[in-house]
Structures are given as C-alpha cells and as structure tokens.
Amino acid sequence: MFLEPNFRAQRSGWIEVVCGSMFSGKTEELIRRLKRARIAKQHVLIFKPKKDTRYDENAVVSHNANSVDSIAVGSSSEIYNYIEGVNVVAIDEAQFFDMELVEVCQKLAVRGIRVIAAGLDMDFRGKPFGPIPNLLAIAEYITKVHAICPHCGSLATHSYRLSEETETVVLGEKDKYEPRCRICYEMGNILDFRNS
C-alpha cells in the first residue's frame, strides 16, 4: 500500500522501540506510554499478532495483568487499514510479526505517526529475533529494559527456555521461560548440553 508522505506532520512522526528479555516489563512500558498519550488527548491504537493468544485474543496484557484493548492482525500490512486519524500506533510482541513490519513502521512515521514497538530483541538461542534488529537500526528512540536473573540477582538480558522444544516460536510463560543474566544463561546452556 502506498502512503503519501505528510510533510506538514512529518516532524511529529518517529519510531520508538522497547526491547529486552522475557519478564523485563516491555509490555508494561508500552502500556505506560499509551496511557500518557491518551492523557494528552492523542488518538491511540495498539496492535498485536494474532498468533499471541496467551492471555487474551484481542487485549494486550502484561505479566502484571495490566491490559489494554488491541487489534489482533495476521500481518503487519493490515495495520494500514486502521490508521486514519491516528496519532500513535503501538505494536506489542513485534518479534512475531513479518519482516515487512520495518517498512510499515517507516511509512507510518513519515506520515507523522508516533510508532512504539515492543518486543524481544533475542530469541531463546540468544540470536536477534524477527524484525526487531532492523527496527532498532531505524528507531529514533530505543529503551532496553531488564528483568532480574532468579539465579544470581543480576540484570537479566536473555530469555532461557526451560522446555526442550527447539522451534524458534514457542508461546509460553514462566512454565517455559525464565530471564537470565549472560553468565547464568551460558551456564545453563553448558549444563543442558552435557546432560543431553
């Protein structure tokens, strides 16, 4: 879909990325920013991938049970269908979207829309996850949030998978993942390797 640039509003459009490991507060931070935008009387829409049904099929829900109504979409290009009159577009679980999300965010920002994307920057293998690395490259603002490693109390930067599933995308919560610092993450991988 072609979106004609809105050069008058262009100075108000930008991309923000909130990233980190699981249980680091990404969605909580996204919801906090949306509440502030609503206080400022801005028209806000939040999107999530249809495949993320852990808490609710349509709402974005944080691990602390804070929630906000959202629109579940199957692909990033579907976002274009909803942007008329919108000031802020938020995207939760951005790592689950297709790679076209980067172009969609670029076009929205050029139209003068503030875009806030939240997602995991690394998968359970410690590799860059989905479109997040490319979003980080083009974002004006980046916030990296951290969980706490339950093993040593250090800042957690990795999502350690507790189950034996090997697919990149496995939906789960504390039953399948825990946050870990770099050292505890590596130690866990060494122990898992020795035990297999």
pLDDT tens for the chain, residues 1 to 196? 555 555 554 467 999 999 999 999 999 999 999 999 999 999 999 999 998 766 666 656 555 556 678 899 999 999 999 999 999 999 999 999 999 999 999 999 999 999 999 999 999 999 999 999 999 999 999 999 999 999 999 999 999 999 888 888 887 777 899 999 999 999 988 765 444 4
What residues are annotated to the active site? 93
Q: Domain for residue 29, yes or no?
A: yes
Please give the model's pTM, rounded to 2 decimal places: 0.86
Q: How many domains does the chain have?
A: 1
Q: Could you tell me if residue 16 is inside a domain?
A: yes
Residue whose structure tokens are 């909130």: 18
Amino acid at 94: A
Is the residue at 171 inside a domain?
A: no
**Residue 119 is assigned to a structural domain of this protein:** yes
* 82 assigned to some structural domain: yes
CA distance 43 to 182: 39
Phi and psi for 136 in degrees, rounded to 5?
-60, -35
Q: How many CA atoms lie within 13 A of 169 on its CB side?
A: 14
The boundaries of the domain holding residue 115 are 10-145
In a domain, 183, yes or no: no
The domain that contains 44 carries what CATH number? 3.40.50.300
